[in-house]
Amino acid sequence: MKIIPPKPFTIESGNRAVLLLHGFTGNTNDVKRLGRYLSERNYTVHAPLYKGHGGDPETLIKTDPIEWWNSVLEGYDELKQRGYDEIAVAGVSLGGIFSLRLGEERPTKAIVAMSAPALAKSVDSLQSRIIDYTIKYKKLSGTYDEQNDNPDKVAQYVQMPSLEYLQGIINDTSSKLDTIQTPVHILRGLRDDEYYCESADLIYNSVKSRIKSVKSFINSGHILTLDQEKEYVFEEVYRFFESLKWNE
């Protein structure tokens, strides 16, 4: 089966701009439906695809987190070049912590951090994501061999040396959360790992934003934008952005 790789997308619909960021081992499909939802309500949206993501695992493991971060900055600059001065950002999982990092380094209208990691996380847990991604990709592409592609064997030949650096980025971003003063809305799924629920509390308690809030979704897991309460998530993001005073 031939896999059609996802691409970055831009939908220009209004003067309010939102940068949408996907997760680690994910792709722009993580945020595509949210993007359509916002664009139908007169928001311009742009979602970059991190370098190495959306294709085969061999390509992914040859990239490193600074390249993914550069993809985020390029996405932000894309909206700037299109003439948008006020840019909000919303991201899920790794995209959530990247959203907060963007708020630390660039002017942002507001930040929506969904299922964002903000506490120290073991490299082994990150490596397991690479293994799961490899197995899923092989199954989708029709190259999966049950005997040779079990997790233990995949772990022997799929190694990503830059994962410690990724954890460093998460830790560095968390250490600077107190520099954020723009409005922040934190979303979490209560069926997600406790790690992410605790991260949401850390983010809320650390940012210095006058406007900040946490919303929990009872029946959702990690990727809120794809889970069973996704329509409520979309509405929550939209209402948050609508509550802000935009220069129009």
- Residues designated as active site: 93, 192, 222
Q: Give the DSSP per-residue string, 137-196.
A: HHHHHT---TTT-SHHHHHHH---TTHHHHHHHHHHHHHTGGG--S-EEEEEETTS-HHH
Q: What distance, in Å, lies between the first and last C-alpha atoms of the chain?
A: 47
Please return the burial class of 155, using the count of CB atoms within 10 Å of its CB with bins 0-12, 13-18 and 19+: middle
Residue 118, CA distances (Å) to 30, 55, 201, 218, 236 in order: 20, 27, 9, 21, 22
Q: Which residues contact 156 (CB under 8 A, 6 or more apart)?
A: none
